[in-house]
Structure 1
């Protein structure tokens, strides 16, 4: 490795699977595309094992480029973010020393001093540590692992439709009012007053529509870093977007124009999915303790109910309707009532499935609840007809790549805006409205409707949406999804925007 490696890139992101999974796929593509490049992906103990398995999905047996992707554990993180662990590792890297993985004890040989890094836009401490130790000798590229529209709104400057530098405004207000800084900062970030959010190419929304569920991560680290993201972005040298132009072209153009004001490039990288090879499928399946059972279940439901008959349900690895779980169980009652086969992922640490629900699913015989699902395997299977999703960027991308239309149940972050793109812009799915809670139970800008939010309303909407989805209207949406699928997959074909952008990024190293 050291004999041929001339360029060394370091990558790191927070402890969120939706941030880390596509980043490891990007790292794999980078070493495949540039033979003199080595990438060191620094991660935490909580993410190390799963990232190692996910990396293997991107390489066939015997692919020597896999040796130029090193996944190294920095240690155990003290919070959800896992930021700030990089200092001893970075000191070793810039001193030309080897690294020792804190998870396995594996020793890695020295490599050339890194000249560039890719850091999660939430990795504020790591960004500052590298800047303090290396100054401008290293280029720091910000990793935007979500919908570009959302990141612009939450963390962009005011003139591009964003909230701007919350830290400075919060400190000023705290001094004036005497209220605690973090209380003021979180109020500025989360409290919404019915203002209209208008971004090019995206239908207008009330600001509170970006928080459709009463849900909080409840992590102090989030309250400390969120006010600082905007100014942290200002210290970076460029941006790598997880998104892609066929999904949000106008939003990406806003980002390009904004960064161009300070001479910084923006590169699109999506869709970032491992290949659908036998090796990839096998490595995904072993990440789920029920992988073999799920594979058998898919085959059985195909023989019993036919193609496109199954509903896949997943809220990702974090989100779950923890304040109103009864709405999910009511929705499942309708699924059973309509005799729809389903698989539900229960990966969130907030998900607690009552024994009564488990028994009902077991007696139904056409449902399966799993603690961790091989999502791409499920979406690629011919039995899968619809995906009920919270609307995170990765899940939406995987649905598009597999041509599975969506039923949206968004919470926060980029999910509500993705729901609008699914329903109103690309018209490849539906959004559930009666499942909303908290501030989400207010008037919707684009329709004027105010959700009722009762269990009866949830069931009535479920019958309506599922009836349409598994009928003629749903087939029309599936047909539109096929066109979007072709455009999305073309992003990485010859002449595609993402392939061009990533090649340009590699040339800049």
Structure 2
């Protein structure tokens, strides 16, 4: 190891949608900077999958892979995997050896890290490093979602955000005598009918940001979420996983906001594996127990039904329409009624597929339901025509990069805004409205329509949208998406926006 080597430390909460783009970012930067070493500290929950995901960015013989070490800190009792870093950080800054809790691999000391990348919601770990190292280390916050969503939830009020939620909730709790957690949840998930306006987006009622009824009371992680705005005032900059062409107004708003306090914003999307297509596909396929079956199914579908004939359905690794599963099975009935081949991911720990549904799909013969799908392999396949998506940022990015348009079924977080970007701003998809529940069954600001929300309404809407998607209207949307696809992929080419920004980030270390 050279005496001029640079050491960067990375960490995120143990959610796949946060971890996957960060490991890809880390793989990119060690390739771009030959003297850079990265230590990615993770909980045991994600260790094995992240190592497989890392392999998707390095071809055999690529020695830069050795400079990205993924180290397990072991299991944690923290719900999101935050606050575990203290002993590891003390060892790293002291120049001591560290030992992976998963493999017992011993890692030799590296130079003291001048910078770390932490999840924007990793408020405990950010606080730990600040308390130990002060301003001697730069802390960059990874914004692991749509930029609009981070701004709306954690930004100051003058950029369209909720401001210091913790301070607001404490003040209201003192004034009214109400429980702090109740007040904080109310602030975060406000559904009073206020109109939210953000640059580059059509206005939306606040309840439209939560089109599905919540599964819990939201108190479990409210203390973390309420502190994000406050704690992130202490970081030195932000790294965005989004694409400039998808939400340029939000990116500019983020830059202007952070510049008020002389902090930098670096855009890094799309964060996609950088190994050869065969290496990337094989490593992704290995993460799914049905990977080979799905690949064979795609090949057969292309032969029998042609290009763009398949519908891919996935709600990501966490979301599932638990309280309205009857609407999901009604939608699937219409898919089969219209003789559309499909693959459905049931990856969420909340996902339950009834035996009668599995039997119906087996009898149908043109569908696959899997507990974990090789998503990018599916989206990149020429048989895939449309993606029924929850609208999480990783899924949106992967779909844009593959040129596959959307049918949106959003739940919360960045998903409702991505649905609006897909349908109203870029006009490259549709949104299912009748699948909404709870507060979502209220008037939509931009159209004035109020969803009916019955199973029959879901079926009627599904027939209409699927027929249009697989018809001439769908072809127009697919053609329109190609411009976004080219722009997104160009962001990492020489002179592209993300390549320039990440090079500037590396130069700042």
Structure 1 partner of 2:139: 140
Distance 1:427 1:214 in 2: 27
Structure 2 partner of 1:59: 58
Distance 1:474 1:187 in 2: 39
Shift in Å, 1:304: 1.2
Structure 2 partner of 1:120: 119
Q: What does residue range 87-106 of structure 1 map to in structure 2 within 5 Å?
A: 87-106=86-105
* Contact 2:152–2:161 under 8 Å retained in 1: yes
Structure 1 partner of 2:157: 158
Which is further off, 370-379 or 276-285? 276-285
Structure 1 partner of 2:272: 273
RMSD: 1.0
Structure 2 partner of 1:408: 408
Distance 2:199 2:2 in 1: 49
Instruction: Give secondary structure in 2 for the equivalent of 1:193.
Output: coil
Distance 2:176 2:497 in 1: 49
* Contact 2:242–2:267 under 8 Å retained in 1: yes
Shift in Å, 1:3: 3.3
Tell me the TM-score normalized by structure 1: 0.99
Shift in Å, 1:79: 3.5
Structure 2 partner of 1:35: 34
Shift in Å, 1:336: 0.3
Distance 1:351 1:89 in 2: 35
Shift in Å, 1:216: 3.4
Structure 1 partner of 2:325: 325
* Contact 1:388–1:409 under 8 Å retained in 2: yes
Q: What does residue range 58-77 of structure 1 map to in structure 2 within 5 Å?
A: 58-77=57-76
Structure 2 partner of 1:398: 398
Instruction: Give secondary structure in 1 for the equivalent of 2:246.
Output: helix
Shift in Å, 1:32: 0.2
Q: Deviations over 1:341-377 (max 9, x none)?
A: 0000000011100001000000000000000000010
Distance 1:241 1:73 in 2: 25
Structure 2 partner of 1:212: 211
* Contact 2:196–2:205 under 8 Å retained in 1: yes
Distance 2:364 2:153 in 1: 43
Structure 1 partner of 2:343: 343
Q: Which stretches in structure 1 are left out of the alignment for 5+ residues?
A: none
Aligned residues between the structures: 508
Q: Deviations over 1:95-136 (max 9, x none)?
A: 100110011111000000111000001101101110111110
Distance 1:100 1:52 in 2: 16
Shift in Å, 1:330: 0.2
Structure 1 partner of 2:431: 431
Shift in Å, 1:80: 3.2
Distance 1:216 1:242 in 2: 27
Indicate how the Cα distance of structure 1 residues 292 and 57 shifts in structure 2: closer, same or farther if over 3 A, else same: same
Structure 2 partner of 1:369: 369
Tell me the TM-score normalized by structure 2: 0.99
Q: Which stretches in structure 2 are left out of the alignment for 5+ residues?
A: none
